[in-house]
Amino acid sequence: MTDIKQILAADAELVNDVLRGYFARNDEDIKELLESERYSLFAGGKRIRPFLTLEFCKLFGGKAEAALPFGCALEMIHTYSLIHDDLPCMDDDDLRRGKPTNHKVFGYSTALLAGDALLTHAFGVAASNDLVESNAVAQAVKLLSEQAGEFGMVGGQIIDLAGESEKLSLDKLIKLHSMKTGALIRAACLMGVIAAGYPIDSEEAVSAAEYAEKIGLAFQIIDDILDATATEEELGKSVGSDAESNKTTFLSYYSAEEAYAYAGTLTAEAVSAISSYEGSEVLTDFAVYLLDRKS
């Protein structure tokens, strides 16, 4: 058994150090925009996606340094998605990671542009990775574009919005979260494989994708349970918003106990996908950590 919280913290510190370098530049004429970007980017996230990129790279014999630009790009895209997700035209949330949401501090227009800037900057960061072969960098950037775009995270968000006016079928709910939440998790795992020197169609990539698919769905199921059962103080964000907006969640189809059991099955399948690889303990323990998290 590894100390997964300690490993997560160490990887997060490494990622934060590199991210600070990417955001060291200043310009008085766009000061508020830069402050808005940094406000959300350094608001205390666990850096789960970069962690997956770094740990899959290391699992398959690569060095963490080679995965860092990819991991940082993923975190920037994840942060942009949170800023936009919290806007009044989307989920209209006031609290994120225990702090006022970006638009509550900087206003709607600046928050919107901060998200745009983070998304754009992210692709420059990923493309500038000079520790990975150029053809592999191109493969990673293409993957990131696909998973973050209309057939990935953004497409999932539009299905999510549709779920406010109609009850989604269970199959569509699973598709929604495979796109909205799962797509960046899939990109994170696969970009780690690419950083380690393996192509996207390798056996290693297939295993990583299977792991990602299972933990991504389990992650969302636990999110739905916590939104219904945890307090705002425990989560550091608004709770009960899914019920208030009449969104379809996994608790629309399962009791909390049944949903947790489903997440447990998915976690076991994720662990099985990587169990044959030496050194998979960190990612195994991480899958269990996600299942048992309280925030």
Per-residue pLDDT tens, the chain, 295 aa: give them: 779 999 999 999 999 999 999 999 999 999 999 999 999 999 988 999 999 999 999 999 999 999 999 999 999 999 999 999 999 999 889 999 889 999 999 999 999 999 999 999 999 999 999 999 999 999 999 999 999 999 999 999 999 988 888 899 999 999 999 999 999 999 999 999 999 999 999 999 999 999 999 999 999 999 999 998 866 665 665 665 666 667 899 999 999 999 999 999 999 999 999 999 999 999 999 999 999 998 7
3-state SS, residue 164? coil
Q: Which pLDDT score, from 0 to 100, does residue 65 have?
A: 97
pLDDT of res. 164: 82
* Cα distance between the two ends of the chain: 22
Report pLDDT for 91.
Answer: 87
Provide the 10 A C-beta neighbour count for residue 29: 6
- pLDDT for the residue numbered 243: 60
What's the angle, vertex CA 110, arms to CA 45 and CA 100, rounded to 5?
45
| pLDDT of amino acid 54 | 99
Q: What is the pLDDT of residue 241?
A: 62
Question: Which tokens is 64 given?
Answer: 């963490």
Q: What is the pLDDT of residue 240?
A: 59
pLDDT of residue 238: 62
Round to whole Å and give the CA distance between 31 and 254. 47
CA–CA gap between residue 56 and residue 191 (Å, rounded):
8
Q: What is the pTM of this model?
A: 0.94
Tokens of 240: 């009960």
Q: Residue 40: its pLDDT value, please? A: 97
Q: Name every residue whose Cβ is closer than 8 Å to that of residue 139 and which is 6 or more positions away in sequence.
A: 194, 199, 200
**pLDDT at res. 98:** 87
Residue 277 zone, left/alpha/beta (φ > 0; ψ -120 to 50; rest)? beta
